[in-house]
Structure 1
Amino acid sequence: MDSEKTPLHMKLVRRTTEQKAAAEQRRLAPMMRALKAIHSATSPESMAPDDLERQRSGQELLGRLAAPMLGMSWEPFELSGMNAAWVRPDRGHDKRRAILYCHGGGYTSGNLGYSRPLASKMANVTGWEVLSFEYRLAPEHPFPAAVDDAMKAWDYLMYQGYGARDVMVAGDSAGGNMALVLCHRLRAAGRRLPGRLILMSPWTDMTASGKSYAERADIDPTISLDYIKAVRSAYARDADLSSPLLSPLFGDFTGFPPTLIQVGSNEILLSDSIRLRDRMLAARVPCQLEVWNDVWHVFQMFPIKKANQAMESIGRFLLEQF
């Protein structure tokens, strides 16, 4: 009897699993369309106005669709002419430490609305306040405008009385690039570095020399090499793409803070994370790399189980250090 029932039971379980997967795909479809719009480009040599507008509109939409966590306050303000916002947990929280969050978008798109979901999630898992800022975008404001704005946000936190080690810097995609470049610039100026780095799908190599740019091209649902070429041209112009201020992968990581890197297994940027981990470890930097299977670029933003698990891992990485 049991052997006769087992196949039917297995069929029911399989059908239920397939139905749940289909329901999740339908729920995520609008977000995936918005994400695809952000990371699209028709010309590998330039940032066409229509492409740029589609990317920026898509990012605004994605920020609205990926709603922020409940229990957070959103406090926008002007930081020396730059739009910025604090995310603060409504519950009692540790005000001694903060996270400086650098949003992604290929240096050509992004705004406070797009920053809101991930900033809220990081505030939720740590109980710390998170500062987001709306840095200037290319092609209107090419390199190094964006990182100059990141330095402005960093200096603001120092003026607020935070010690450098009490500020964690987090970034996704181009924001991960920015977080690393910020550290390179701080060290070059003889200044103290942040306490920790959180890098989600970081873009570390503008030369696109990693194997995954070709090996993952057919399975990456959101980013193409044409997009990479378009945004790097808009941002870097004629600058040397191998410079650590554009491709931080090629810099010296001696003295960098402990770092957590998260990346999806299906990303063309996978090599950027693997090679960064290897170079950091070679420089004796404590570095953890988490490769999350079967997910896409900056999956942490989405309302899925793996995103929640990844954010919990970020919380553990930060909180266990103090």
Structure 2
Amino acid sequence: MSSRWFPEGFGFKVLQDKATDKEQMGEKKLQPIMAALRNVHSAIDDMGLERQRQAQRLLGKLVSPMLGMQYQPFDIDGMPAAWIRPERGHSRKNAILYCHGGGFLSGGLSYARILASKLASATGFDVLLFEYRLAPEFSFPTQLEDVLRAWDHLMYLGYGAGRVVVAGESAGGNLTLALTHKLRQQGRKLPRALICMSPWTDLTGSGESRKERAEIDPMLTNDYLASAVRAYTRGHDLKDPLVSPLFGDFTGFPPVFLQVGENEILYSDSILLHERLLQAQVPCRLEVWEGMWHLFQMFPIKKAGEAVSSIGRFLLDL
């Protein structure tokens, strides 16, 4: 394992271990599921999009580790939302605002609660989920407006910005960063910290991993990402930092924790973001998980639990 740190306790890590025979067998059993999900993420027509949305809703119902969690749905001015809270005694001083992924095309409360419930368990924080409007029915900046609406709801409830962590995976990681850019543009206070799991930071697709890892990524395809970009941006400038957060100014950003799988085409999105954050003197830690794929944290495997536990330690140590 190689590492370099900036500043104290922050930096870059490659996490690797020797899998046991039992773990290797478990991962082989996941391969059919991963192949099916790759097929879903390859679809670009309307029928494929509806299949994707249905598959994610089903995945959320089957996989969400809700044991020991309270799930409380409500709405924010008509936008579906929910709280996930640990049933065990815990402080409600801090909260996580969770932005789900899905390429801006799919996802919702049932899908978001997979990782949101894991984060609630690992930290003891209350987690707010919400369903932002999806492309192609709604394009940029609708999704960012909805994230801002969820943030404003937390401020209305009395949470100070310094008590809220914003977290997201994939497209949700994009929105996590875009929200922070937007808040700074508005001269507002920024979140306590940002958690980004395999964030999609560069919608121009300029990263080398888009080509280098296209054959080994078991989850995402470049065709799928290209179709999602067209549906989400509708011709908007792809280098707008609110669309591709990688191209923004990160001066004054809060601490950022990044996780990415070694075998995913969005690998470069995290590597380049890490470099930009360090250049801006932002405390940032990047974990690269050897042999892992896009959003492996969702799956019932050992490394997923270790990754979420690492996020929990990061937040509790702030």
Do the two structures share a fold, i.e. TM-score over 0.5? yes
Tell me which residue corresponds to 1:310: 307
C-alpha separation in 2, matches of 1:184 and 1:19: 44
Quote the residue 1:78 is aligned against.
Answer: 75
Deviation at 1:96, TM superposition (A): 0.5
1:120 to 117, 120, 126: 117
Q: State how far apart, in whole Å, the 1-side matches of 2:257 and 2:211 are.
A: 25
* Superposition RMSD in Å: 1.4
CA distance in 2, matches of 1:176, 1:216: 20
Q: Supply the distance in 2 between the matched residues of 1:162 and 1:30 (Cα, whole angstroms).
A: 43
SS in 2 for 1:177: helix
Which has more radius of gyration? 1
CA contact (8 A) 2:35 2:218 kept: no
Matched, 1:22 2:25: yes
Partner of 2:42: 40
For the pair 1:199 / 2:196, whether they are aligned, the reply is yes
**Is the contact made by 1:100 and 1:130 (CA closer than 8 Å) also made in structure 2?**
yes
Q: Is the 8 A contact 1:143 1:235 kept in 2?
A: yes
In the alignment, is the contact (CA less than 8 A) between 1:31 and 1:62 conserved in 2?
A: no
CA contact (8 A) 1:63 1:115 kept: yes
Q: What's the counterpart of residue 147 of structure 2?
A: 150
User: Bigger CA drift: 214-223 or 55-64?
Assistant: 55-64
Kindly state the Cα deviation for residue 115 of structure 1 after the two structures are TM-superposed. Answer: 0.7
Aligned 8 A contact 1:244 1:251 in 2: yes
Structure 2: distance between partners of 1:30 and 1:86: 32
1:6 match:
none
Q: Which residue of 1 aligns with 2:208?
A: 211
Work out the CA distance in 1 between the residues paired with 2:217 and 2:280.
30
SS state at 1:227 partner: helix
Instruction: Return the offset for 1:157.
Output: 0.1
With the length of structure 1 as denominator, give the TM-score of the two structures: 0.90
Alpha-carbon deviation of 1:162? 0.3
Shift of 1:286: 0.1
- Which amino acid in the other structure matches residue 88 of structure 1? R
3-state DSSP of counterpart to 2:143: helix
Task: Work out the percentage of aligned pairs sharing the same amino acid.
Answer: 60
Deviations 1:140-180 (A, max 9, x none): 00111111000000000000000001000000000000000
Q: 2:127 aligns with which of 124, 127, 130?
A: 130
Q: Which has the higher contact order (CA 8 A, sep 6+)?
A: 2
1:39-71 per-residue CA deviation (whole Å, 9 max, x = no partner) reads 223xxxxx4211211211121122123232411
**1:97 maps to which residue?**
94
**Does the Cα contact within 8 Å between 1:34 and 1:62 map onto a contact in 2?**
no
Which residue matches 1:162? 159
CA distance in 2 between counterparts of 1:224 and 1:319 reads 35
Closer, same or farther: CA 38–94 of 1 in aligned 2, 3 Å: farther
Q: Which moved more, 1:263-272 or 1:48-57?
A: 48-57
State the Cα deviation string for residues 75-116 of structure 1 (Å, max 9, x = none). 111111000000000001110000000000000000100011
Contact 2:259 2:288 in 1 (8 A): yes
Q: In structure 2, do the counterparts of structure 1 residues 23 and 196 end up closer, same or farther at CA, with 3 Å as the change threshold?
A: closer
The residue aligned with 1:171 is: 168
In the TM superposition, 1:292-307 aligns within 5 A as 292-307=289-304
CA distance in 1, matches of 2:23, 2:261: 22
Task: Report if the CA contact (8 A) 1:201-1:264 is conserved.
Answer: yes
CA distance in 2, matches of 1:33, 1:58: 13
Counterpart of 1:246 (choices 243, 252, 255) is 243
Name which of structure 1's ranges 63-72 and 77-86 shifts more when overlaid on structure 2: 63-72
Equivalent position of 1:141 in the other structure: 138
Q: State the TM-score, normalized to the length of structure 2.
A: 0.91
The code of the aligned residue for 2:25 comes to A
Secondary structure of the corresponding residue to residue 39 of structure 1:
helix
Q: Alpha-carbon deviations, 1:162-201, whole Å to 9, x = none?
A: 0001000000000000000000100000000100000000
Q: Is the 8 A contact 2:166 2:176 kept in 1?
A: yes
Could you list the runs of 5+ residues in structure 1 that have no partner in the other structure?
1-15, 42-46
Question: For 1:312, what is the secondary structure of its paired residue?
Answer: helix
Give 4+ residue runs of structure 1 displaced > 4 Å after superposition: 16-20
